[in-house]
């Protein structure tokens, strides 16, 4: 069987895809230390201008769109545009004004600093 015939045969077994952009949840790792919560979201192929981060009423919402531009007739297509969406509850102890984000190699890193009141502290015992 020729490569072209084999490709067509495999394509016939694949379900038909609509042109709507699918929404998926990005994979996320969350770490906590004494001073902040770190959130790493895997968003490959998303430009920083296509990412939205909102904090409102105790909810952190992440969103981003990976746009795939194509040219020519499609012969085989498995990699498509996608919309990443994920929402988290955030503790009230987060200092919202100091949240910062960076995007590197397709991974969005959010630094959610804890307010001073929420940070652990050692209490000194005084003698009288």
Sheet order of strands, 28-32 included: 28-32, 36-42, 107-113, 100-104
Long-range contacts of 46-53 (CB under 8 A, 24+ apart): 46/84, 46/103, 46/106, 46/108, 48/103, 51/101, 51/103, 51/108, 53/99, 53/101, 53/110
Q: Give the residue extent of every domain in the chain.
A: 21-69+76-117
CATH 3.40.50.1820 fits 21-69+76-117, yes or no: no
Averaged pLDDT in 10-residue chunks for the chain of 128 residues = 52 55 94 94 95 93 90 83 94 91 96 80 79
Q: Which of 56, 49, 60, 57 is nearest to 26 (CA)?
A: 60
pLDDT value of position 118: 60
Distance of CA 122 to the CA centre of its chain: 35
pLDDT value of position 55: 92
Q: Hey, what are 74's tokens?
A: 């499609």
pTM score, whole prediction: 0.72
């Amino acid at each position: 069987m020729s490569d072209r015939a084999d490709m067509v045969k495999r394509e016939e077994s694949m379900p038909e895809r609509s042109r709507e952009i699918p929404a998926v949840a990005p994979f996320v790792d969350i770490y906590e230390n004494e001073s902040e919560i770190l959130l790493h979201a895997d968003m490959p192929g998303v430009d920083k201008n296509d990412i939205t981060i909102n904090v409102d009423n105790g909810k952190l919402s992440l969103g981003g769109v990976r746009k795939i531009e194509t040219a020519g007739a499609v012969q085989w297509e498995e990699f498509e545009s996608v919309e990443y969406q994920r929402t988290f509850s955030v503790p009230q102890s987060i200092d919202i004004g100091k949240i910062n984000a960076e995007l590197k190699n397709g991974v969005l890193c959010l630094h959610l600093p804890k307010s001073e009141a929420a940070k652990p502290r050692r209490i000194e015992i005084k003698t009288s």
